[in-house]
């Protein structure tokens, strides 16, 4: 399944194997991966992550990461997508997630991409609600969640973490 979503400044599309170099800049960055338990990924982990996203999108009915492309410059600047929330917190829900290359932070790209993915989730897929799991020390990600209409629900503890994450949620307003 190939996916393409357009916004004013961005194109969101399924990943291809040619996205490796850009994803290396993203997932290999210490600043970008600061709120990730794994930290920056190695070259082999990035290749594995990319292959997984390509395959997941084909098999999981529209779930997975989408490459976020800056329309004007035609460069990959991050990803945004829908993921199965970790079952270790007892959630059987779909989470929205996003990461962007650091020099594209603070420009509204994460919010713009997340709004497009939120609308896809609610209108096209008909999901009843979305959640976001956010590191408490990541105020930028919290602001994105709030800007797309999500509200804080509770703290949750993931098995592999040494601290709780915030769970934000949004009910489908079209149902």
* Residue 59's pLDDT band (cuts 50, 70, 90): low
CATH class for domain 4-128?
Answer: alpha beta
**Do 97 and 106 meet the contact criterion of CB atoms below 8 Å apart?**
no
Per-domain boundaries in the chain: 4-128
Q: Is the pTM of this model over 0.85?
A: yes
The tens digit of pLDDT for each residue in 77-135 reads 999 999 887 655 556 789 999 989 889 899 999 999 999 999 999 999 999 999 999 98
**Do 170 and 147 meet the contact criterion of CB atoms below 8 Å apart?**
no
Is residue 41's pLDDT more than 60? yes
The mean pLDDT value for 2-22 works out to 89
Burial level of 158, CB count in 10 A (0-12/13-18/19+)? middle
Q: Is 8 helix (H, G, I), strand (E, B) or coil?
A: coil
């Amino acid at each position: 399944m190939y996916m393409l979503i357009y916004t004013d400044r961005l194109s969101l599309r399924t990943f291809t194997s040619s996205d490796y170099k850009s994803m290396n800049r993203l997932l290999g960055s210490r600043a970008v991966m600061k709120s990730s338990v794994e930290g920056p990924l190695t070259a082999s982990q990035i290749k594995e992550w990319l292959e997984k996203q390509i395959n997941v999108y084909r098999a999981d009915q529209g779930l997975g990461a989408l490459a976020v492309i800056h329309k004007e410059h035609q460069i990959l600047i991050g990803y945004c997508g829908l993921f199965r929330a970790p079952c270790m917190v007892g959630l059987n829900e779909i989470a929205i997630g996003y990461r962007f290359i650091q020099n594209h932070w603070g420009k509204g790209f994460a919010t713009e991409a997340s709004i497009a993915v939120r609308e896809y989730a609610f209108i096209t897929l008909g999901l009843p609600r979305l959640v976001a799991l956010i590191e408490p020390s990541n105020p930028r990600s919290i602001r994105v969640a709030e800007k797309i209409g999500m509200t804080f629900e509770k703290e949750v503890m993931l098995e592999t973490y040494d601290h709780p994450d915030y769970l934000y949620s949004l009910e489908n307003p079209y149902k």
